[in-house]
Chain A
Amino acid sequence: MKKLEQEQLKKIGICVAALAVLLYVYFAFLLGPLQDSEHKAVVGIASLEPQISGAKQQITKTAQLEKQAPQATAYLNSLRDTIPDGEPIAWFPPKMASFFRSKGIEKCTTHLVSESSDSMPGFRKIVWAVDVPKVEFVPLGLAISSLENNEPLLTILNVSIDAIREDAQYQHATLILSTLVKS
C-alpha cells in the first residue's frame, strides 16, 4: 500500500474535523432540542390522557347518578314533604290530639321531653311524652297501630300502660316517642 503523504494526512484530518463539527452541531443544536421538546410533549400526553379520560368518566358517572338520584331520594323527599313547616312544638301536640281524637280517644296531652340533632343530615330528633289519662286497651292498641303505620318518622320508644284503680276497664297510658323534624 502506498504510504500517505503528509499533505493527504492533513486533508483527512480536516475532513474528520469537519465531520466532528457536523455531528456536534446536528445533535447539540438541531436534533437534541427537537427530541427534548418531543419527549416533553410525549410525557405530557401520557399524563394528560388518563386525566382527561378520568374527567370524562367522572362527568358521565355524575350524569348517570343525576338521572338515578331522583328515584333514590324520592322516599326521603316525600317524607320531608310530610313534615309541616314551623316549630314542632306548635304543630305536633295538636296533631297528636287530633289523631287520638279521630281514634275515639278524647283526652291526650303531649309534652316536649328533649331535642337533639340527628345523624341524618337536615333532620333533628325530638322526643315527646304523650299522656292518655283514660283509655281502653283495645282502642289504645288500634291507635298505636295506626300511628305506627301512618307516621314513618315517628318511633315509639316507650309504652307504659297502668290500670286505673278506680275503674278497671280503663288504663292510663304514656307513650314516649321520637319524631324527626326538619332542622
Chain B
Amino acid sequence: MPLHVNLYHEVQRQEQARQRDPLRLGMLAVLIIAIGFVANYFVVLGRAHSISVRYSGLGDEWSTIEAKAKDAKARQDELDNEVKASDAMVKTVEGRLYWAPILDQILKTVPRTVQLTHVGADAPGDDTATTSVLTISGISSAGEPRKEAEALRIALDTRLGAQFKHVTSVFKTLDDSDQFVVLDGLRLPTANFTMEFQIQVRDPIAAATPPPAHRARTAEAE
C-alpha cells in the first residue's frame, strides 16, 4: 500500500473553514431570501397594478355614469308620477256614478197612478263614501193610495237592488191627503209620500287586517 503524504492539509483545512464560515453561509441564505422577496414583490406589484388599473377604470366609469343615473332617477320619478296620475284619472272616470240608469229605472217603475213631485239624488260625498241617497216625493192615487206608494217603493227597491250591490229604502213621510184626483173617470183618494233610498254605489275601502292571533290559536291547539 503506497504511502500518501498530504502536504496541503493546512491549505485544505483553511479552505474548508472558509467554506463552512457561518457568516458566509448566513449571508448566502439572506441573499436567497432577499431574491425570493424581490420575486414575490414583483408578483404582488403586478397584481396590485392590474387591480389599481381596474379600480381607476371603474372610477372613471362611475364618474360618467353617476350623473346619467341621477338624471334617469329624476326622469323615472317624473314618469311614475305621470303614470300614477293617468291611473288615478282612469279610476276617477270609471268610478263615477252614472245617473242616467237610475233615472231610467225610475221612469220604468213609476206607474200612472203616481205623480212624482220631486226627485233628488246625491252622489257619494268623497272617495271614502260609498252610499248615494235618492229621495223621491210624490202623490199616489188609488183605492188604497198608501199601498200604491208602498208598491212603488218595493218595485224601485227591487229594480235598484238588481243594479247596485246594496239598497235600503224607507218612507220618510206617507200621509193621506184630503185631495182627490180623477183618473180614468174615477175619483180616487191620494197620499203624499217621500221615500229615501240608500244605494251602495261603491265597495267600502277594506279595513286594515288585524294581526294574526297567534296566542289564541296556540291556546286552542293546546
Q: State the A residues within 8 Å of B (CB).
A: 4, 8, 11-12, 14-16, 18-19, 22, 26, 30-31, 34-35, 37-38, 41-42, 44-45, 48-49, 51-52, 54-56, 58-59, 61-63, 65-66, 69, 72-76, 79, 119-122, 137-138, 140-142, 144-145, 148, 152-153, 155-163, 168
Contacts and interface: CB of A to CB of B under 8 A. Distances in A.
B187 interface: no
Nearest to B41: A30
The 3 closest A-B pairs by CB, nearest first: A15-B26, A145-B100, A55-B69
B41 A34 contact: yes
A157 B96 CA distance: 9
27 contacts: A14-B26, A15-B30, A19-B29, A30-B37, A34-B44, A34-B48, A41-B54, A42-B51, A44-B55, A55-B69, A62-B76, A65-B80, A66-B79, A79-B89, A122-B85, A141-B103, A156-B96, A156-B99, A158-B120, A159-B103, A159-B120, A160-B121, A161-B118, A163-B116, A163-B117, A163-B118, A168-B115
A114 to B, nearest CB: 14
A120 B85 contact: yes
A141 B104 CA distance: 7
B88 interface: yes
A48 to B, nearest CB: 4
Interface in B104-149: 104, 107, 115-123
Chain A interface, DSSP helix/strand/loop, else mixed: helix
Contact of B83 (A37, A73, A79, A157): A73
Contacts of A48: 55, 58-59, 62
Contact of A38 (B51, B62, B92): B51
B47 interface: yes
Q: Which range holds the interface residue count of chain B?
A: 35 or more
Contact of A52 (B45, B61, B90): B61
Interface string B60-87: 0110011011001101100111110111
Contact of B59 (A44, A65, A140): A44
A156 B201 CA distance: 14
Given A22-B34, A26-B41, A48-B58, A157 B122 contact: yes
A51 B25 CA distance: 55
Contact of A121 (B27, B45, B81, B100): B81
B121 A148 contact: no
A12 B25 CA distance: 9
B139 to A, nearest CB: 9
B98 interface: yes
Nearest to B139: A163
Given A79-B89, A157-B123, 16 more contacts: A18-B30, A34-B45, A34-B48, A38-B51, A38-B52, A44-B58, A49-B58, A52-B62, A59-B65, A59-B72, A75-B89, A79-B93, A148-B100, A152-B93, A160-B118, A160-B121
B213 interface: no
A75 B116 contact: no
A140 B103 CA distance: 9
Contacts of A145: 98, 100, 104
Interface of B: 21-23, 25-27, 29-30, 33-34, 37, 40-41, 44-45, 47-48, 51-52, 54-55, 58-59, 61-62, 65-66, 68-69, 72-73, 75-76, 79-83, 85-90, 92-93, 96-100, 103-104, 107, 115-123
A123 to B, nearest CB: 8
B82 A73 contact: yes
Contact of A15 (B23, B48, B83): B23
A161 B55 contact: no
B73 to A, nearest CB: 6
